[in-house]
Amino acid sequence: MLPVFLEIASEWRDTADRLFAAGVPEGHPLLDVWREAAWCYLMFARGRPDAALARLRAVVEEATGLLPPSGEAFALFALLREAATAALARPAA
């Protein structure tokens, strides 16, 4: 069993493939969430949750255009999941 952030990274790698196939353009922040999840794993393992959360908040803002509230990593990943679900529901351009 993988550590939780590495599981999230694996799930997001699959999600990135689906998003790209659905027409989300290369360079969109949702396509890189898997890397951020892996980064969270490293930062939390090194005792730097503040750095991980700051980066996650920045990714949420990039992906949604909204400044996210302070919160735990799982709440921020939930906001990203909502953005990915919305992107998959939109017809490809």
Burial of 66 (0-12, 13-18, 19+ CB in 10 A): exposed
Dist. CA 35–CA 71, nearest whole Å: 20
Model confidence, pTM? 0.87
Question: Each residue's pLDDT tens digit in the chain (93 positions)?
Answer: 568 999 999 999 999 999 999 999 999 999 999 999 999 999 999 999 999 999 999 999 999 998 888 889 999 999 999 999 998 887 655
Structure-derived torsion over alpha carbons of residues 19, 51, 77, 4, reported in degrees to the nearest 10: 100
CB atoms within 10 A of CB 12: 24
Tokens linked to 73: 């990593």
